[in-house]
Copies of this chain bind each other. A is one copy, B any other.
Amino acid sequence: MTTILNEADQTLFDSVCDDAREAMLLQTIADTMEWDGQTGLPTKAGDYRADQVSMLRGEVHAKRTASSYGDRLIQLAETVKDADPHSDVAATVIELHRDYDRNRRLPADLVRATSMATVRGQQKWEAARKADDFSLFRDSLIDIVKLKREAGDCISDGTDRSCYEALLDEYEPGARVDQLQATFDSLRGPLVELIAAIKDAPKQSDVSILQRSFPIDAQREFSKKVSAAIGFDFQRGRLDETSHPFCTTLGPNDIRILTRFEQHWLPGGLFGTLHEAGHGMYEQGLRADWFGLPPGSYVSLGMHESQSRLWENQVGRSREFWTWLLDDAKAAFEPSIDDVGLDSFYHAVNTIRPSLIRVEADEATYNLHILIRFDLERQLIERHIEVADLPDAWNARYESDLGITPPSDADGVLQDVHWSAGLIGYFPTYTLGNLASAQLYEAAEQSIGDLPDQISRGDFGPLADWLRTNVHESGRCYSSDQLIKKVTGKPLSAKPLMNYLTLKLSPLYGLV
C-alpha cells in the first residue's frame, strides 16, 4: 500500500477498509445464494430464497450507508484531496465515498422494495416468457420501472444528471448520455451499411455446419478445456450450467462462470463459455489483496464486457484461433464435423445475419439490438412511453432497424431478463464493451509483436498477461474513459470496431 497518510489517517483508512471488506463478505454471501438460485433451486423454494437474499441485501445496504462509516470517508476525502487520484489509497477513498454518496441517496425502504420487486419480477418474467404472454409480466414491470424512476430521481437530485443517467451511472460510472449517443450514432451508419452489404454479398457462409449434432457432454468437456487453455483458472473458479449465462464473484478465489449448451447449436455453448471465461479472467486478474476495495474491483460493466467480448470475438472468431483448435474440435465431436475444412468453419462462426434474439446475434448485428434497448429504456424512464406501449414499440423498432417482425413476445420484448431484474441502464454497456474490446485488441496487437502467430499456436499467455497488466491490475483507480485513453492513447470511438469488422468480414464475404 502506498503510504500517503500519517499514522492517525492510516488507522482511519484501515478501519474504513475493514468495513468495506465486511460489506463485501456479506455481498458475496448474497451472490452465492443467487448463484445457487440459478443452478437448480427446487421449484417451491423460491419464496424463502427471496427472503434470504433480501435480508442479506438489506444488511449490505445498511453497512454501506452507516453514518459512522460515511463520516470517516468524508474526513478521509478531505485528507486525500491533493494526492494522486489514481493511487490506490486515494482511489479507494474517492470511489468508496462515491459509492457511499450514491447509496445514501437511496432510502432503505426503496432498496428493500426493489429487491423484493425484482426477485418476484424475474419469476413473473420467467412465467410470462414461458406462456408467451407479456400481460403476465406487465404489472411487475410497471412496479419495477416506477421504483427505478424513483431511484434515478433520488440519485440525480441536485446534480446535473438526468434520471436515466443516474441509473446508467451505476453500471458505467461517469458515463453521460450525450457522449454515449454521439458514439452510438457514429457506429450506426457504417454498421448498417456493412450489414446490408453482407446480406447481398457474393460469398455466404454455411451455418448448418454448426447445427449438426454436438452431444452436450462433449460440449461441456470441450468448453471447459478451451476456457482453461485461454487462462481461466479452475482452482479459483468453476463452470456450471444455467438458463441465462453469467459470471459471478463469490470470493477472491471463487469466480464462477455459467453457460448453457444446446445439442444442435455449437456456438451458443462454446462462444458463451469463452465469453464468460473472459469475464472470469478479468475477476481473476484483479489484485486479490485489494479484494472488496476499489483497487481490486472492475472499472465498469462496459470494461468488463470488453474482456468477455475480446476473448469471444477478437480471439475466438479469428482464423488463427481455429487454426489452433479445429482438429481438437473434430476429435471432440467425432464424426460430426470430420468433413469440414478451416475455411468453411471459420466462415460459419462468422455468419452475419439479422436475427430476433440478442444473445444469439452475431457480433455485428448485436449492436443494433442494443441500440433499440438503449432507446426504449431511456424513453420508459423519461416517461415518453409506458410499459403498456412496450411490446408495440419493440416490434416497430425490430421492423425498422433489423427488418424482422418478432412473431411473439417471448421472442420479442420478453427475451431478456434484465428489466425484470431491475437492470435499467445496463444494456448500453454491452456495446461500450464491444467498442472497447476492438480498441484494446488493436493496442494489444501493436504492443505484442506476433499475436496472431501466438494464437494459432494456442499460446494465450502474452495476451492474457497484457490484459492483466494494462487493464485488470489497475482496478478502479481509473475511470473507463481514463483507462481506455491511458492504454490505447485515444478516447473510446467506434472506429476500431468498424475497422476490425470490415477487415475481417469483407474478404470473407467477397466484398473486396
Report if A29 contacts B (CB, 8 A): yes
Q: Which residue of B lies closest to A21 (CB)?
A: B51
- Does residue A466 face the partner (Cβ distance < 8 Å to B)? no
B25 engages A51 (CB within 8 Å) = yes
A43 within 8 A of partner (CB): yes
Any B CB within 8 A of the CB of A253: yes
In the complex, A236 has a CB within 8 A of chain B: yes
Contact of A29 among B43, B52, B238, B254 (CB under 8 A): B52
CA of A41 to CA of B250, assembled, Å:
10
User: Smallest CB-CB separation from A49: which chain B residue?
Assistant: B251
Provide the residues of chain B in CB contact with A25, threshold 8 Å: 51-52, 55
Question: B251 contacts A48, CB within 8 Å?
Answer: yes
Q: Are B235 and A52 in contact (CB under 8 A)?
A: no
Q: List, in ascending order, chain B residues with CB within 8 A of A237's CB.
A: 42
- Give the distance to chain B from A63, nearest Cβ to Cβ, in Å: 12
A234 within 8 A of B: yes
Interface size class of A (residues with CB under 8 A): 20 to 34
Interface residues of A in 253-268 (CB under 8 A from B): 253-255
The stretch among A32-40, A149-157, A206-214, A449-457 that forms the contact with chain B is A32-40
Residue of B nearest to A53 (CB): B29
Given A36-B36, A40-B238, check contact A253 B45 (CB 8 Å).
Answer: yes
Would you call B40 and A29 a contact (CB within 8 A)? Answer: no
- CB contacts (< 8 Å) of A49 on chain B: these are 251, 254
Interface assignment of A384: CB less than 8 Å from any CB of chain B: no
Task: List CB contacts (< 8 Å) of A159-174 with chain B.
Answer: none
Q: How far is the CA of A425 from the CA of B320 in the complex (A)?
A: 62
- Bound Cα distance A273, B133 (Å): 40
- Mark contacts of A467-506 with chain B using CB atoms, 8 A cut-off: 1 yes-contact digit, 0 otherwise: 0000000000000000000000000000000000000000
Q: Of B42, B234, B238, B252, which is within 8 A of A253 by CB?
A: B42
B56 touches A29 (CB 8 A): yes
Separation of A40 and B32 alpha carbons in the complex (Å) = 13
Residues of B within 8 A of A47 (CB): 253
- A30's nearest neighbour on chain B, judged by CB, is B29
The reply on A122 being an interface residue by CB < 8 A is: no
In the complex, the answer to whether A42 meets B252 with C-beta atoms within 8 Å is no
Indicate if A130 sits at the interface (CB-CB under 8 A).
no
Q: Which of B28, B33, B236, B250 contacts A44 (CB 8 A)?
A: B236
Q: Is the CB of B44 within 8 A of A253?
A: yes
A33 and B34 CA atoms in complex are apart in Å by 11
Considering the chains assembled together, what is the distance between the CA atoms of A294 and B462 in angstroms?
A: 60
* 8 Å CB contact of A235 from B43, B55, B56, B250: B43
B32 touching A254 by the CB < 8 A rule? no
Give the residue among A43, A48, A51 with the most B Cβ atoms within 10 A. A48
Known contacts A28-B48, A29-B33, A48-B251; 7 further A-B pairs (Cβ under 8 A) = A29-B29, A29-B52, A36-B36, A42-B236, A44-B236, A48-B254, A49-B254
Cβ contacts A to B, 25 pairs, < 8 Å: A25-B51, A25-B52, A26-B55, A29-B33, A29-B52, A29-B56, A32-B32, A32-B36, A32-B52, A36-B36, A40-B238, A41-B254, A42-B234, A42-B236, A42-B253, A42-B255, A43-B235, A44-B253, A44-B254, A45-B236, A45-B250, A45-B251, A45-B254, A48-B252, A52-B251
